[in-house]
Every structure is written in C-alpha cells, then in structure tokens.
Chain A
Amino acid sequence: MSPLDVKRLREDFPILHQTVRDGRPLVYLDNAATTQKPRAVIDAIRRYYERDNANIHRGVHELSERATAAYEGARALVQRFIGASSPREIIFTRGTTEAINLVAQSFARPRVRPGDEILISTMEHHSNIVPWQMLCEQTGAVLRVVPIDDRGDLVMDELAARLGERTRLLALVHVSNALGTVNPVREIVALAHERGVPVLLDGAQAVAHARVDMRDLGCDFYAFSGHKLYGPTGIGVLYGRSELLEAMPPWQGGGDMIASVTFEKTTYNTLPYKFEAGTPHIAGGIGLGAAIEYVNAVGLDAIAAYEAELLDYATRGVSSVPGVRLIGTARRKSGVVSFVVNGVHAHDVGTILDQEGVAIRTGHHCAQPVMERFGVPATARASLALYNTRDDVDALVAALRKVAEVFA
C-alpha cells in the first residue's frame, strides 16, 4: 500500500480549483453530503452521451449493444467492489433511500404481522427511519430503537436485548453521517443471524472510505449511493442475497422487469431486472462504474489510512478552538467531525465559515433523533474525502476562530 499523493489526486477533481465568495479558495468539507467527481467520472458520462447513448437490453443496433455492455459492465464492477457473489445480487436504484424503501416494501412488508418488530438505532439517517415507520403503519408492526451512549456508540447490550423473537429485520447504519461512528457491523450481523434475524446495512457513508466486503460482513442487504462515492447523483445500489431477492415480489411494475406480458398473465424477469422497472439511469450507472474504477486505482486501504490520519488532525484542530464541543467521539470513527460552538447556532457558524470559503454542513443532518439524544438543535459538520488536506483543516480551524471573533 502506497501513501496517497493527494496533491496529484486533487488535479483529478476540476471543481476543487476555484475561488468562492470573492476570491477565497474553495475548501470543500461537505463530503458526507456529496463528494466531488473526478474527471474520469465526468468524462465517462460525457463519452456515453456523445458516443453510446441508446436504450439498453432490447436494441439490436450497435449503440444499444454498447450502452448495454457499459451499463452491465458497471454492475459487474459494483459486484466485485463489494464482494457480492453474482451481478444478479446488484440492483441499481436511485440511491440509498430507494434501496431501503425497496427492502421495506418488497422484503419486509409481506413478512411482517401485527406486533412483529423492526429494529433500528438512534443514530439512523431519516432514510432508515421513515420507510420503517411507513411499514409499521401499513402492517401494525412495531418500530424498536437501539439507544446510543454519550460518545455516539451503540449500546451493545441493549441491541442484544432488543433482538427478540418478534424481530423481523435489523436495519442499521454502517457509518453514521451525523456522528462518524463506525458500527461493528460484522459482529452485529453474526449476533442477529444467531437469533435468525436478517440484517440490512445502510452503507451510504461507508463505501467511499474503507473496504466493504459482503463475504466478510455476511449481511442480507446492503444499500449505498453513487454520489457519496465520487459518482453521479440519482444512482445507487441495493445488494441482496440472491435467495432472498428471488423470493421477493417485484416492487415497481413496468418495462424491463418482465419476461412476458399478456392481459391474462405477466411473468417477471429474472434478477436483477425484476427490480429495475423502466429505463434506468444508464449514464448514472456508467458514471458509478467509472467512480469505482477510480477508487480502486487509488486504493481503498490507502484512502482509509490517509483519511484516518487526517481525521485525527482535524479532531485535534477543531477541539483546540475555545468553546467548541465535539458531538460524536465513538471508539471507531470515519471522517466526520460534528461539533457545536458554545453560544453560537450552527447556522451562524456555517455562514461565517462560508464567507471564508469553507464549505461545511450545518443543521440536523437528516438525523433529528441524534440531535435530540445530544440535546442540540443542530451541529456543524466537517466531513472528509480523499482529496482533503491538512491545509483544508487549517482553513477550517482559522475560520472557526473567526466565528469566536464575530461572536465575542
């Protein structure tokens, strides 16, 4: 594993080389919201539209063949990227949210009875809360929640205690977007499986930052988005174990998801197409494939090591600013630094940082229960990607000192 040549890698991201707010160099630290795109991804999408654009799977002409090959090639890249055993287990979706909704409606809904339980945790993103609340309303199932401690770690005893006879699914975030907590998902999956409970993992914040392997995790479903992995928006992935996907009814009906249609009887297509009704986001899939090739070439182990070191630097830097309190100090963390500034609302922090060219996220991060758990209305959040540097962190810390000056 070679260390990252970040200076060179930054050249791959055209958007980073600009000034904002009247001449400040852009310092982009909002990567948990979305990452920037390398030229390889932008070029792949442009090439597709300039050269290969056609509908897939049914054209006899050359463009359709090329488009199909590129789209299915991307699916194979995803399969290898996450260590799935077959491309049949890779369903393209609009994103993590749609993937979770698919599992809720197609896997869980036919299986749960009134009084059955779906287990989630306090640190879930709204996208892993609301689909389950909707399911509970539809079925009479009960949503149960694993609490977190003051550091932002799951309370493991409580998790074990809540995995009961009526638990039909555990839906858990792999890496928390609001806290950066990396959950011990392999151990949790093993525990849930001992009790016969299937597991869905929300990997939106995980896949760009460390190696993720389905054979290693053993989970039943895994969801992630392309745009947090240096790929385009509007494309995401649901991985599902093929025997589960086989048994699930289609979620949406339409073209491409059928084998044959008559008014008497429609036969559904095989996996993965059964779950991909309508013309998909072909360019998005191809862009995601290019993003995965980019990340593979850089090396996820090198990215993980680099970001861990930078997280440590950022944590020390941000904590050194008087009045700053970190929210989320879990034992294992990914590149997220969430914090509050004493006496200053997160939105004011965000506006002042923005004037210094530093882009962060402020608010509840679509994780209101986390905010409630820590007794804050909102946090400011800096989140890292492979192209961030110590200079970026220094700019963040300097801008935070300006916040103190303005609000002195």
Chain B
Amino acid sequence: MSDVRELYQSVILDHNKKPRNFRRPEGSNRRADGYNPLCGDKVTVHLRIEDDVVRDVGFEGTGCAISTASASMMTESIKGRSVAEAERLFERFHHVVTGEIGIPPAVEEMTALGKLAVFAGVREYPARVKCATLVWHALHSALEGRADAVSTE
C-alpha cells in the first residue's frame, strides 16, 4: 500500500516545523496573497526584486504541513534567481505535482526540481495538490506584479 510517509517525507516535516524565510523581507517591493477557501489556508508572498532578480523572498500565513513546507522550500529555491528562472520553476513545479496519478514524473523533470522533487508524491493525493501549489500561484502573481489575491478555487 502507498505509505503516507511518501507524502510526509522528513524534509517536508522539517520545513513545516521550522519554516525558512517566514518573514517580510526588508525593502520588499512585490507581494501577493493566496487563499485556499477549502481549508482556510492563507499565504502572503513578499519579494524584493531588483534588476529582474529575486534578491530576497519571504512568506507569511497559516497552512497545513504541505503548504507550509512548499512555501518554505519555494523561498529557498528562488532566492537569487532571475524572474524568468523563477517563473520556469513555478511551471515545472506545477507540472510535476498536478501530473497524472500512478504515473511517476520523468527523471529529468525531477532533476530540474532539485530539492522540490519531494513534492512529487502530492500528485497521488488530489485533495492535497492545492495545498502544495497555493504559494506558487501567489509567487507567480507577485512575479507578474499583480497584487490581487489568488485563490485555488
């Protein structure tokens, strides 16, 4: 049987317990809110973008382990990347976690995701996909400079 620990891997549990960049960075100049009406999860992404590069990133809000860990690891993954690279990562992440149930993602996709590949297991839990993607949608919106709240519904 599928073990729930494939979803709740230790790295996810660790980021849930000690979220990184859980703050509003000094001098942040872009933000976007994400809201999942299904579970009440709320997240705000703050970015400091200079010269088209994400110089600093942080998040605030409340959510489940999957959404908190996803937010925490997202911040670590995009800091220092260009806006275009961050966007590409958003697309890759989205593609992997929303992939078809029972079909593992391609090896190169997993490699490109780096540490974020631990979220690939989420695709086996359709009810939880939105938890993993919420913060990424907010990031996408903040990168585009849209400040309106994104909703997973």
Contacts of A371 in B (CB 8 A): 40
Kindly list chain A residues whose C-beta atoms are within 8 Å of the C-beta of B41: 377
- Mask, B31-49, CB within 8 Å of A = 1, is 0000000111100000000
Contact with B along A269-291 (1 / 0, CB 8 A): 00000000000000000000000
Q: Are B39 and A21 in contact (CB under 8 A)?
A: no
| Chain B 1-42: CB-based contact to A (< 8 A → 1; otherwise 0) | 111110110000100000000000000000000000011110
A22–B40 CB distance below 8 A: no
Chain A residue at smallest Cβ distance from B41: A377
Q: Among A129-137, A223-231, A239-247, A345-353, which stretch is in contact with chain B?
A: A345-353
When the two chains form their complex, are residues B4 and A352 in contact, meaning their CB atoms are under 8 A apart?
A: yes
Q: Which residues of B contact A368 (CB under 8 A)?
A: 40
> Is A378 a contact of B8 with CB atoms below 8 Å?
no
CB contact list, A353-401 vs B, under 8 A: 355, 362-364, 368, 371, 377-378
Question: Does the CB pair A345–B63 fall under 8 Å?
Answer: yes
- Chain B interface residue number, banded: 20 to 34
A12 to B34, CA, bound (A): 45
Grouping DSSP codes into helix (H, G, I), strand (E, B) and loop, the A interface class, with mixed when no group exceeds half, is mixed
Q: Which of B1, B4, B13, B64 contacts A347 (CB 8 A)?
A: B64
Contact partners of A21 in chain B: CB under 8 A? 1-2
Is A377 a contact of B62 with CB atoms below 8 Å?
yes
B120 contacts the other chain (Cβ, under 8 Å)? no
Residue among A345, A352, A368 with max Cβ neighbours from chain B (10 Å) = A345
Once bound together, how far apart are the Cα atoms of A342 and B39, in whole Å?
17
Which bracket fits the contact residues of A? 20 to 34
What CA separation (Å) do A209 and B1 show in the bound complex? 36
Q: In this assembly, does A60 line the interface, its C-beta being within 8 Å of a C-beta of chain B?
A: no
Asked if residues A362 and B4 are in contact (CB atoms below 8 Å), the reply is: no
Q: Among B4, B5, B7, B131, which residue has the most Cβ atoms of chain A within 10 A?
A: B4
Q: Which of B33-80 contact A (CB under 8 A)?
A: 38-41, 62-66, 68
Contact B40 A351 (CB under 8 A): no
A406 close to B (CB within 8 Å) = yes
Please indicate the chain B residues that have their CB under 8 angstroms from the CB of A362 in the complex.
Answer: 39
Which residues from A are CB-within-8-Å of B125? 351
Tell whether, in the assembled complex, residue A406 and residue B5 are in contact, meaning their CB atoms are under 8 Å apart. Answer: yes
Does A259 interact with chain B (Cβ within 8 Å)? no
Q: Does B103 contact A (CB under 8 A)?
A: no
The distance from the CB of A197 to the nearest CB of chain B, in whole angstroms, is 33
Separation in Å of the B61 CB from the closest CB of chain A?
A: 10
- B65's partner among A23, A345, A363, A364 (CB-CB below 8 A) is A345
Among the interface residues B5, B8, B63, B64, which one has the most CB atoms of the partner chain A within 10 A?
B64
Assuming the contacts A345-B63, A347-B128, A348-B64, asked whether A355 and B2 have C-beta atoms less than 8 A apart, the reply is yes
Query: What chain A residues lie within 8 Å of B13 (beta carbons)?
Result: 406-407
Contact B2 A351 (CB under 8 A): no
- Flag whether A344 is at the interface (Cβ < 8 A): yes
Query: How far apart sit A57 and B56, CA to CA, in the bound complex (Å)?
Result: 70
User: How many Å from the CB of B151 to the closest CB on chain A?
Assistant: 15
Give complex CA distance A368, B5 in Å.
31
Q: How far is the CA of A47 from the CA of B50 in the complex (A)?
A: 70
Cβ of A347: which chain B residues have Cβ within 8 Å of it? 39, 64, 66, 128, 131
Using known A-B contacts A344-B65, A377-B62, A407-B65, determine if residue A351 contacts B39 with beta carbons closer than 8 Å.
Answer: no
Of A22, A24, A346, A351, most B-chain CB atoms within 10 Å: A351
User: Do B5 and A378 have beta carbons less than 8 Å apart?
Assistant: no
Chain B residue at minimal CB-CB distance from A363: B39
The verdict on A346 contacting B39 (CB below 8 Å), with A22-B1, A22-B2, A407-B65 known, is: yes
B107 at the A/B interface (Cβ < 8 Å)? Answer: no
User: CB distance A351 to B38 under 8 Å?
Assistant: no
Q: In the complex, what distance in Å separates the CA atom of A175 from the CA atom of B94?
A: 41
- How far is B64's CA from A351's CA once the two chains are assembled, in angstroms? 11
C-alpha spacing A22/B6, complex, angstroms: 15
Contact of A345 among B1, B4, B7, B64 (CB under 8 A): B64
Shortest Cβ distance from A368 into B: residue: B40
Cα of A371 to Cα of B40 in the assembled complex, Å = 10
A11 to B3, CA, bound (A): 30
Q: How close is A308's CB to chain B, nearest CB, in angstroms? A: 31
**Listed A/B pairs (16) with beta-carbon separation below 8 Å:** A21-B1, A23-B1, A346-B64, A348-B8, A348-B64, A351-B7, A351-B128, A352-B4, A355-B1, A355-B2, A363-B40, A364-B39, A377-B62, A377-B63, A378-B39, A402-B4
15 more A-B contacts (CB under 8 A) besides A345-B39, A364-B40, A406-B4?
A22-B2, A23-B1, A345-B64, A345-B65, A345-B68, A346-B64, A347-B128, A348-B64, A348-B66, A351-B125, A355-B2, A371-B40, A378-B39, A407-B8, A407-B65
Show the binding face of B for A, using Cβ within 8 Å: 1-5, 7-8, 13, 38-41, 62-66, 68, 125, 127-128, 131
In the A-B complex, the 3 residue pairs with the smallest Cβ-Cβ separation, listed nearest first, are A22-B1, A345-B64, A347-B64
